[in-house]
Amino acid sequence: MNALKHVDSHMDDLISDLQKLIRQPSVSAKNEGIEECAKLVKALLKSSGLKSQILRLKKGVAPIVFAEIKSKKNPHKTLMFYNHYDVQPAEPFDLWDDPPFSGIRKGNKIFGRGSTDDKGELITRIKAVEACLAATGDVPCNIKFVIEGEEETGSAHIEQYLKKYKKKFSNDGVIWEFGYVDAKNRPIIGLGMKGLLFVELTVKESIRDAHSSLAVLIKNPAWRLIDAVQTLRNSDGHILIKDWYKEVVPFSKKDLELIEREPFDQNVFKKEFGIRSFVGNKKNLDAKKSLVGDATCNIAGFISGYTGNGAKTVLPGEALVKIDFRLIPKMDPKKQVIRLKKHLKLYGFDDVKIKIFHGEAAARTDSSHPFVSQVERAANKIFGKSILNVSNAGTGPMHPFVDILKSPCISIGSTYMFSRIHSPNEFARIDLLKKTTKCICLIMDNFGKNQ
């Protein structure tokens, strides 16, 4: 395939364009450089041969960059690439070896915030389309890009965008914004993502902090909140809220076969995080099944009283806990919120206030869908071996694509599993960027031929 040769001979261009993207900060949490980066992405798409435009909802909402190109050979099949141009904040700056937006190259690595998540992944998609056009003057199928600027802050408006531009965004399959490559250089082909419900629980007891000697008279809100949180789950991680798992469907036989085949070295995992055992003392297959398909109730932060150095005998006036629930297919975030509120009321915690930050349902593509085998064959040809993953343990806005656009979604990409995404010294491996770009070329070809 001539497109693959074009990728080989034009890697300098890919690297240069990725460096341009990294050097343009685009931190959605701080609204830093969002407009400028959207315009840069639009220009890169245009220079690669795609018709691109910036779409908007309203003032204050990050724009989506949309691009498309029609296939002369196969105008009846449309493949979409979903990506995002926003990045995580780079702090703490002092832990970076080089400026976080430098895009510096060192050997086989390009460093900088967004080098993998998600500018590195985005550039592989753009350059794959460019390679096909350069080699044949055409693309194997219609191509569309939807590139948002709010993914790192929860994709608050993606559902509105999808509804407003439903016809414009119509497609037959979506290649998701990322994909991991494991320590043995095998791409993990992800068929789903868990959902998320993020809440904040607070208890306010008194108008101010007091001397701790008054704890004989004044109730401590931290203890109150601890008592409330302890009713949510047991020590094995099972959530105790009534009907929490009511709609959940068990794994299919094919899913269980895929999970069993997926490599997972529990000893390496434990060593990486410095832990001795897993929740509920899970081992081997049970641990893998949990990563793919268990719901969670996790305390993300607990704030109350004095947390500085040394001692301060204080009785706090209020307490706050942040909790994230990972959701699995068929769990509706809105229903789960109602169940959480009923649970707290049932156990007598009417005084606990609940603030909802974010709700996202889970999504999963059936492993028997023909799109899966098209991606798998492409990955095996370029990487030598790939691994099918029933669902990623993390969360992204995949559900609205499945629900609104009725699109099967599959994750595959160049992100090395230890590339420090969301951390200082994030990097992309150039060899994986090249392989992924070639893989995307083959995916487009397979998709267009419907092989």
Query: 147 and 167: one domain?
Result: yes
Query: 168 and 209: one domain?
Result: no
Question: Collapsing DSSP states into helix, strand and coil, what is residue 409?
Answer: strand
Sign of CA dihedral 302, 308, 314, 317: negative
Q: What is the DSSP string of 306-363?
A: --SSS---EE-SEEEEEEEEEE-TT--HHHHHHHHHHHHHHTT-TT-EEEEEEEE--E
Look up the CATH number of the domain holding residue 200: 3.30.70.360
Query: 111 and 171: one domain?
Result: yes
Residue 285 lies in a domain: no
Residue 91 lies in a domain: yes
Q: How far apart are CA 343 and CA 241, in angstroms?
A: 6
Residues 6+ apart with CB under 8 A from 257: none
Query: 60 and 103: one domain?
Result: yes
Residue 9 has pLDDT above 70, yes or no: yes
Low-confidence winner among 70-74, 256-260, 266-270, 316-320 (lowest mean pLDDT): 266-270
Is 0.75 surpassed by the pTM of this model?
A: yes
pLDDT band at 174 (very low <50, low <70, confident <90, very high): very high
Residues 6+ apart with CB under 8 A from 279: 236, 237, 290
pLDDT, tens digit (0-9, with 9 covering 90-100), for 355-380: 999 899 999 999 999 999 999 999 99
Asked if residues 162 and 403 have their Cβ atoms less than 8 Å apart, the reply is no
Q: How far apart are CA 103 and CA 91, in angstroms?
A: 16
Residue 115 has pLDDT above 90, yes or no: yes
Residue 12 lies in a domain: yes
Query: 386 and 340: one domain?
Result: no
Residue type, 94: D
Residue 151 lies in a domain: yes
Going by the DSSP 8-state scheme, the letter that residue 97 receives in this structure is: S
Q: How far apart are CA 414 and CA 434, in angstroms?
A: 9
Residues 6+ apart with CB under 8 A from 65: 38, 41, 42, 45, 52, 53, 54, 55, 85, 145, 147
pLDDT, tens digit (0-9, with 9 covering 90-100), for 292-337: 999 999 999 999 999 999 999 999 999 999 999 999 999 999 999 9
Which of 319, 344, 360 terminates a domain? The answer is 360
Which of 360, 376, 408 terminates a domain? The answer is 360
pLDDT, tens digit (0-9, with 9 covering 90-100), for 227-256: 999 999 999 999 999 999 999 999 999 999
Query: 17 and 46: one domain?
Result: yes
pLDDT, tens digit (0-9, with 9 covering 90-100), for 46-63: 999 999 999 999 999 999
Domain count, the chain: 2
Rounded to the nearest 10 degrees, how much is the dihedral formed by the CA atoms of 425, 431, 435, 436? 10
Look up the CATH number of the domain holding residue 93: 3.40.630.10
Residue 269 lies in a domain: no
Asked if residues 154 and 358 have their Cβ atoms less than 8 Å apart, the reply is yes
Residue 411 has what pLDDT? 98
Residue 52 has what pLDDT? 97
Residue 110 lies in a domain: yes
Mean pLDDT of the chain: 96
Query: 56 and 136: one domain?
Result: yes
Strand locations in 165-316 (E): 173-175, 180-181, 188-190, 192-204, 210-211, 296-304, 314-315
Q: How far apart are CA 133 and CA 3, in angstroms?
A: 8
Q: How far apart are CA 231 and CA 348, in angstroms?
A: 11
Residues 6+ apart with CB under 8 A from 48: 126, 127, 129, 130, 133
Burial environment of residue 319 by CB neighbours within 10 A (0 to 12, 13 to 18, 19 or more): buried
Query: 69 and 146: one domain?
Result: yes
- Residue found under tokens 């998609």: 125
pLDDT band at 1 (very low <50, low <70, confident <90, very high): confident
What's the whole-number mean pLDDT along residues 170-185?
Answer: 96
Residue 120 has what pLDDT? 98
Residue 437 lies in a domain: yes
Residue 208 has pLDDT above 80, yes or no: yes
Query: 417 and 318: one domain?
Result: no
Query: 121 and 239: one domain?
Result: no
Residue 451 has pLDDT above 60, yes or no: no
Asked if residues 367 and 254 have their Cβ atoms less than 8 Å apart, the reply is yes
What's the whole-number mean pLDDT along residues 83-101?
Answer: 97
Which of 338, 360, 382 terminates a domain? The answer is 360
What's the whole-number mean pLDDT along residues 399-418?
Answer: 96
Query: 409 and 443: one domain?
Result: yes
Query: 231 and 302: one domain?
Result: yes
Residue 278 lies in a domain: no
* 46's tokens: 């245009």
Q: Which residue range(s) make up the domain with 310?
A: 194-248+295-360
